[in-house]
Amino acid sequence: MNHYEEGDLGVSRRFTESDYNLLVTSVKSNLNDAQKRSPGLESRVYSFLQSMVDERPATVLGQKCGMDKPSHLAVDLQGNAMTCQNTGVKGKHGIGTVFDMENVKLDTAWHWKERPDCGGCPYLQICGGGCMYLTDKNWVDTCNNEYYYAKGIFEGALEMLTGAKVIGFYGEHTRPSAPSSIQRIAAIEIA
């Protein structure tokens, strides 16, 4: 659900409010039909429910992709190190080579803890902070995409557990709305 502008990794159009409503409805519908339930969505539900059972605080939550862990490194077949296992080394995604490990540093990323809206988001345990590489408009669009996807999972999980329909969820839901001026995280050195 990451959004990239033309000239980055590709182009994806922005979702409309109608698209978001359809996304939430579709996710909930899939989760509530045991015969058609997607194993991937079901896994996200169980992970979310386990976070509640374990009372897992957000402070121990890493990034969704796991690339914030010093022990993780994405590498292609030529030995190029990159910011993300889902990209190539295009643009700022290339961060060095395994043949020169002392100079490999992930310094083009922003952990969810550094983003002002993530800590208070009710869906953080599901979203995992989204893509830590994205900034500005791409981050805002991606955050909104992840927010509504996680909203569908959250409401679908509650409906699976209770059999009742969710009619509202009240409280502060901070959303990023403008290009950010967040600070870059300190470089994550790869051991």
- 51-67 per-position pLDDT tens digit: 999 999 988 888 888 88
Q: What is the pLDDT of residue 156?
A: 93
Rg (CA), the chain: 18
Residues 191 and 160: beta-carbon distance below 8 Å: no
How far is it, in rounded angstroms, from Cα 149 to Cα 139? 15
Encoding tokens for residue 90?
């295009």
Q: What is the pLDDT of residue 150?
A: 94
Q: How far is CA 80 from CA 48, 93, 175, in A?
A: 34, 10, 35
Q: What is the pLDDT of residue 13?
A: 67
Q: What is the pLDDT of residue 39?
A: 92
Delimit the domains of the chain by residue range. 17-189
Encoding tokens for residue 162?
């209770």
Low-confidence ranges of the chain (pLDDT < 50): 6-7, 9, 11, 178-191
Residues 61 and 48: beta-carbon distance below 8 Å: no
The full length of the chain comes to 191
Q: How far is CA 33 from CA 47, 125, 187, in A?
A: 19, 23, 44
Residues 95 and 105: beta-carbon distance below 8 Å: yes
0.95 surpassed by pTM: no
Report the candidate in 96, 183, 138, 180 with the shortest Cα–Cα distance to residue 7.
138
For 110-153, the DSSP string reads: --GGGSTTTTT-TTHHHHTT--TT--HHHHHHHHHHHHHHHHHH
Q: What is the pLDDT of residue 59?
A: 87
